[in-house]
Amino acid sequence: MASKPQAPRQQKHLAVLIDADNAPAAIVEGLFEEIAKYGIASVKRIYGDWTSPQLGSWKKVLLDYSIQPIQQFAYTRGKNATDSSLIIDAMDLLYTRRFDGFCLVSSDSDFTRLAARLREEGLTVYGFGEEKTPKAFVSACDKFIYTEILRASPEPQADHPSNGDKPAPALEAPKPPAESKKLKVPLEFIAKVLDDIGDDEDEWVHLGALGSNLSKLRPDFDARLYGFKKLSDLIKAQPKRFELQARVSSTSGGKDFYARNVKREP
């Protein structure tokens, strides 16, 4: 009797909440490309005082990315009413029980307790913020992505555009990509995680399991911060410390990667 085909894995439904006061519009394309790796952005809202000229760069991209702007006037100088509005909406969305996770886009530590509260309900929290983001907010998320690595590199413009076409104006001057200031690869940290999740010193560990455990211990761990596109590239570039092995998957027929620490002579 032929076995029934397995139903496709359902993607996570995510609520994306953006603090316009603490997130630059230059990240918008990379932001939603990154979010698409984790699930479907079912709700996309951005909070700020839209009467302020400071949010002009965000206004240019709202329609293109179908982001709903939420108006929040600054009632009192020195107080951020945007944060309160975002937090209230997050709790309202939480109690609908329609979402598997939240994407909080801000570098503001005021959202630390919100991230922790969402996780208490069993939801996955993805944080997006600049490298200046306080450690407390980073640690409160399941996964934290620094927005510097999401900014597109500025494309070189021709001195004289052909056919009289004018180059499209940039949203705002993006900062150089993160690869211009690569961090030192935390070799000892990766080696310890490999030892901890392997049954013995020489056991091969599936790269997916390795990546998952690295993120659990350090939510902001990302191979791109160290100048590598993927974790497999990072491991492969350290032949004196790690070994990388590719195997044919018995289910998909594609490649599965495994890693282990290089055996050290006694």
CA 9 – CA 153 distance, rounded (Å): 34
Look up residue 31 and give its DSSP letter: H
Q: What is the pLDDT of residues 182-194, one digit of tens each?
A: 789 999 999 999 9
CA 55 – CA 48 distance, rounded (Å): 8
Q: What is the pLDDT of residues 190-216, one digit of tens each?
A: 999 999 997 666 689 999 999 999 999
pLDDT at 96: 96
Domain ranges of the chain: 13-150, 182-261
CA 155 – CA 134 distance, rounded (Å): 31
The beta-strand segments (E) located in 72-224 are 101-105, 124-129, 143-146, 205-206
3-state secondary structure of 52: coil
Query: Residue 43: which H helix or E strand, with range?
Result: strand 40-48
**Six-digit token pair at 252?**
């998909």
Q: What superfamily in CATH does domain 182-261 come from?
A: LOTUS domain-like (3.30.420.610)
- Average pLDDT along the chain: 84
* CATH class of the structural domain 13-150: alpha beta
Q: What is the pLDDT of residues 108-123, one digit of tens each?
A: 999 999 999 999 999 9
